[in-house]
Chain A
Amino acid sequence: MRYFTEDHEWVDVDGDIGTVGITDYAQGQLGDIVFVDVPEEGKTVTKGDETAVVESVKAASDVYTPVSGRVIEGNAELADNPGLVNEDADGEGWFFKLTLSDPSELEGLMDEAKYEAFVAKL
């Protein structure tokens, strides 16, 4: 099941493991991505924390974690190939994985249909 934030992050949840990325809409708004900074394994993050950085030619943007937990992996591919986020924001361009500490936080997020409706109004 995939959940979305109003800041255009997504979290894909499988058991208590969440995979976090930014949406295709977000990568399109950012334009050519030239740098991504992902968190290190073991870092504890709280919902809403600035957990990753994504930089386009134009500007730097913070990525806020949609849920709290402990980071188990950052996407190492993005260091050498940040453009992966432009090519496949919903898949290969994921940012980090974490173990959810409070799955109830997911209740406040949007599902795909709601997110699409949200983006359509922007």
Chain B
Amino acid sequence: MSDEAETEIELQTLPLDAWHRARGGRMVPFAGYHMPVQYEGIMAEHLWVRESAGLFDVSHMGQLLLSGPDLDVELEKLIPADVKGVKLHGQKYSLLLADNGGILDDLMFTRWEDGIYMVVNGAVKYDDIAHLRDHLPDEITLNHMDDQALLALQGPKAADALGRLVPGVAELVFMTGGRFDWNGVPLWISRSGYTGEDGFEISVPGDKAEALADALCAQPEVKPIGLGARDSLRLEADLPLYGHDLDPETTPLMAALGFAVASKRRREEANFPGAERVLLEREQGPVVKRVGLLVEGRQPVREGAAVLDAEGSEVGKVTSGGFAPTLGVPIAMAYVPAAMAEVGTKIQLNQRGKVHEATVTAMPFVPHRYVRGSK
């Protein structure tokens, strides 16, 4: 994430800035903000989330509220999801697509009583807002909820810890949310996250974020976790990172996000941006594809390393890579030609002139542990 540094522009501070510093967070520039990359250390924080619960500040992300007439129809013109099929407080993953099917951002959206609540990536949130504003009719209101902070509590003990403060959250299942009250503070809480673990994302008024973070970290299961572990956790969980594993040059099928175009109705209507190309790739398979790699040896192979074919020519790129703390080995995500995308395929990677052996492997690297409920 060091390449995310934006030292040229003036960095903004988020509601928990002083809170992170007081707790020993090492602050770095990220997505235009000062953000904590680590507290006690990435490895320990990563393992803590996998076995207990970790609190992440993700207030840099964009929280948007869309409302107005024919919102479902209008939003479906910009994303491939079945918006109409999302019930009240249901949550869905989708992609903001360009006219050629390229990915402008990935996002989560939820149906609220008064509209659609959407969470988009911090690094591109102003581009997203501009894109939505340009493409949605004037009758649709777009409210950037920038007075809200966003916290994520992730890990197998997250429900225990949060449930003590906010009774009832354990009744949520994965990809649903609800409105809760914590000491008079209104919270929007969804059972979702970016680690592969069970957990919650909590939208809280910015001026109440410190008190909530304190209350959560007072629970014995909870420690604050930085961006470093967030990156290694999401990599193990096969969750792509926008700007690295996804960008306007990639499409849903190239990115192995076929589930984002799973709606039969949307495919038959074929009226989302880039539908022709995306649906053709769905039928015939994309030319290149995002895959997971287990790298031999101990040295991490990182973003930017070249994927080589049998002749040693560059045919693809590593888009994320690093050491997987849960597995104790280096792992990576890469885009490779379809012919090399089969699980078990041996491939070579070139990083700074050194060739590394790797094997295409099924993702996620570490199994998801979402709480889906019994329905």
Please give the residue numbers on chain A whose beta carbons come within 8 Å of chain B beta carbons, in ascending order.
31-32, 34-35, 37, 53, 55-60, 79, 82
Contact = CB atoms under 8 A, between A and B. Distances in A.
B42 A57 contact: yes
A40 B20 CA distance: 43
A58 B2 contact: yes
A9 B44 CA distance: 26
Nearest to A80: B298
A79 to B, nearest CB: 8
B68 to A, nearest CB: 43
A31 B298 contact: no
A32 B325 CA distance: 10
A32 B300 contact: no
Contact of B323 (A35, A53, A79): A35
A37 B41 contact: no
A89 B270 CA distance: 60
Contacts of A56: 42
Interface residues of B, number: 19
Nearest to B298: A35
Interface in B284-310: 298-300, 302
B43 interface: yes
B299 A55 contact: yes
A95 B328 CA distance: 22
A3 to B, nearest CB: 28
A34 B38 contact: no
B189 interface: no
B273 interface: no
B110 interface: no
Given A31-B38, A31-B41, A58 B228 contact: yes
A34 B1 CA distance: 17
B1 A58 contact: yes
A35 to B, nearest CB: 5
Given A31-B228, A32-B42, A34-B323, A58 B37 contact: yes
7 closest cross-chain pairs (CB), A and B: A32-B43, A34-B323, A57-B42, A35-B299, A35-B298, A57-B323, A32-B41
A26 B300 CA distance: 19
Contacts of A53: 299
A2 to B, nearest CB: 26
B298 A82 contact: yes
B322 interface: yes
13 contacts: A31-B41, A32-B41, A32-B42, A35-B323, A37-B299, A53-B299, A57-B46, A57-B232, A57-B323, A57-B325, A58-B37, A58-B322, A59-B302
A58 B322 CA distance: 7
Contacts of A58: 1-2, 37, 42, 228, 322
A61 to B, nearest CB: 11
Contacts of B37: 58
Interface string B164-178: 000000000000000
Contacts of B322: 57-58
B228 A57 contact: yes
Given A31-B42, A56-B42, A57-B46, 16 more contacts: A31-B41, A32-B44, A34-B298, A55-B299, A55-B300, A57-B322, A57-B323, A57-B325, A58-B1, A58-B2, A58-B37, A58-B42, A58-B322, A59-B2, A59-B302, A60-B302
Contacts of B302: 59-60
Interface in B247-278: none
B349 to A, nearest CB: 14
Contacts of A35: 298-300, 323, 330
A34 B330 CA distance: 9
